[in-house]
């Protein structure tokens, strides 16, 4: 109704402003133009919103496409909890109210070696909570080389400011020493903070403070120390290690450095739903839990259920089944096999040439900025259709497909295709070819 009204309104304006008479108006409206305009608007509307998409961009943790896909068993548990009631904040034996994330804390402890842990909406929220709990109305000391911006609007100095903390930046962009932190400590210092430079690297003549030293400096002055780790690499028994992709610090290692709190994302290397995790000493985590901001930033039941389920899989030695992890660790030979199979599946589509070529994928989300993942891709050629236009048509297909354009061709990177999605990919390609060949 709204769409019809808005189309009619724009025609009314056009007729008045152009001063059309009856005949001119008749001519302009010929050939069902009104109906077509309404139809076009409805089509645009139907394509909007958050919905399933196929990622063949080769960027595993693609923020635009929702970062880490969760394990199917995890997705099932999340759907169940979302579509019904669940045991969230009640003890099943006594029927009394309890803490919703007690079990999560235990799982995090087992996986990271930390005494305790809690979760909030995302890692940005984790850092915000950290600032509120430890540095509100106080100083937070951070290295100049670590005043990072993540994802456009999340800048460490601004987060500090919005939490009512005063930033004390120490050292130089390329070098910061422990003495710089030591000299900046005053009576009202609330936090010593280390931030992982997730999405860039400072190379050359550089020096950063060893987290162990930062932690002991904090203890010496009774000032809490924290490390925003970002990517959240957790290794568990029975799963292949992520050390191949960039040597990101393990959460367990960060905890062992002795800092009071370590923060990281749920949906980067961990491969869980979106979340921000905070692990550390019992005392520090209790302080975070008691901060009023925690109530505003904490996870909902669906996220909590998904996170618990993911951590359980890791503890059961099934980490290799997590889709994001599997995609990140997929070897070149396996991407070749996927491509060979898909090539057979797609080659009979009319008006298309498919080749298997060597290429690189990316971890994405600043989880390992200097790392590329070697493998194979499908290079697709559609005569008469430029790769840019083909990529656009694929994005607008059902389901939407996100490919990449590189060296003036269309590339389908199957590393990021989930099992069972090949038929959908074929369907979307067929729509694009139909529309192209039909015109």
Ligand X SMILES: *Cc1c(COP(=O)(O)O)cnc(C)c1O
Q: Which is nearer to ligand X, 298 or 436 (CB)?
A: 298
Instruction: Give the residue closest to ligand X by C-beta.
Output: 230
Contact present, 160 and 166 (Cβ < 8 Å): yes
Least gap, CB of 124 to ligand X (angstroms): 3
β pairing state of 225-230 and 261-265: parallel
- Please give the angle made by the CA atoms of 281, 118 and 268, to the nearest 5 degrees: 110
**Three-state secondary structure of 36-92:** HHHHHHHHHHHHCCCCCCEECCCECCCHHHCCCCCCHHHHHHHHHHHCCCCCCCECC
Tokens 């970002």 correspond to: 230
Q: Which is nearer to ligand X, 265 or 335 (CB)?
A: 265
Q: Which is nearer to ligand X, 194 or 325 (CB)?
A: 194
Q: Which is nearer to ligand X, 277 or 291 (CB)?
A: 277
Stretch that binds ligand X, among 108-116, 123-131, 181-189, 200-208 (CB under 6 A): 123-131
Q: Which is nearer to ligand X, 215 or 229 (CB)?
A: 229
Q: How far apart are CA 382 and CA 347, in angstroms?
A: 12
Confirm or reject binding of residue 249 to ligand X (CB under 6 A). Answer: no
Q: How far apart are CA 138 and CA 187, in angstroms?
A: 9
Binding mask 181-210 for ligand X (x = CB under 6 A): --------------xx-x------------
Confirm or reject binding of residue 168 to ligand X (CB under 6 A). Answer: no
β pairing state of 189-195 and 139-143: parallel
Q: Which is nearer to ligand X, 272 or 354 (CB)?
A: 272
Among 276, 280, 319, 364, which residue sits at the site for ligand X (rule: CB under 6 A)?
A: 276
Binding mask 210-229 for ligand X (x = CB under 6 A): ------------------x-
- Residue 16's SS3 state is helix
Distances (CA, A) of 197 to 159, 233, 267, 325, 416: 16, 15, 17, 21, 25
# residues near ligand X by CB under 6 A: 15
Where do contacts with ligand X occur on this chain (CB under 6 A)? 122-124, 127, 150, 154, 195-196, 198, 228, 230-231, 265, 276, 366
């Amino acid at each position: 109704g709204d769409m019809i009204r808005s189309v009619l309104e724009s025609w009314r304006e056009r007729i008045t402003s152009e001063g059309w008479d009856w005949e001119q108006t008749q001519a302009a409206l010929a050939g069902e133009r009104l109906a077509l305009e309404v139809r076009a608007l409805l089509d645009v509307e139907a394509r909007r919103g958050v919905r399933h998409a196929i990622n063949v961009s080769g960027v595993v943790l693609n923020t635009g496409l929702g970062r880490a896909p969760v394990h199917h068993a995890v997705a099932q548990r999340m759907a169940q909890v979302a579509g019904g009631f669940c045991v969230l904040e009640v003890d099943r034996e006594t029927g009394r109210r309890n803490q919703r994330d007690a079990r999560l804390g235990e799982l995090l402890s087992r996986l990271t070696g930390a005494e305790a842990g809690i979760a909030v909406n995302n890692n940005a929220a984790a850092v915000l909570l950290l600032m509120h709990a430890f540095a509100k109305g106080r100083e937070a000391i951070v290295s100049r080389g670590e005043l990072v911006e993540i994802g456009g609007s999340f800048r460490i100095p601004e987060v500090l400011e919005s939490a009512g903390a005063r930033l004390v930046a120490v050292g130089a962009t390329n070098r910061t020493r422990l003495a710089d932190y030591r000299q900046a400590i005053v009576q009202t210092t609330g936090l010593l903070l280390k931030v992982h430079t997730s999405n860039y690297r400072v190379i050359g003549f550089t020096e950063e403070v060893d987290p162990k030293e930062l932690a002991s400096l904090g203890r010496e002055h009774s000032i809490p120390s924290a490390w925003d780790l970002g990517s959240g690499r957790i290794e568990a028994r029975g799963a292949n290690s992520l050390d191949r992709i960039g040597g990101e610090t393990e959460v367990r290692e960060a905890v062992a450095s002795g800092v009071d709190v370590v923060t990281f994302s749920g949906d980067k290397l961990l491969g869980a739903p979106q979340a921000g995790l905070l692990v550390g000493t019992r005392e520090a985590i209790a302080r975070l839990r008691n901060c009023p901001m925690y109530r505003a930033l904490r996870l909902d039941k669906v996220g909590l259920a998904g996170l618990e389920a993911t951590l359980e899989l890791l503890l059961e030695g099934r980490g290799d089944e997590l889709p994001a992890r599997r995609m990140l660790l997929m070897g070149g030979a396996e991407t070749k096999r996927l491509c060979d199979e898909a090539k057979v599946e797609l080659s009979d589509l009319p008006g298309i040439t498919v080749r298997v070529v060597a290429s690189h994928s990316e971890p994405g989300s600043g989880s390992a900025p200097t790392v590329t993942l070697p493998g194979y891709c499908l290079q697709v050629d559609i005569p008469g259709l430029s790769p840019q236009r083909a990529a656009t048509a694929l994005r607008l297909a059902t389901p939407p497909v996100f490919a990449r354009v590189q060296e003036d061709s269309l590339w389908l990177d199957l590393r990021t295709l989930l099992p069972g999605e090949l038929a959908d990919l074929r369907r979307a390609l067929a729509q694009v070819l139909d529309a192209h060949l039909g015109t």
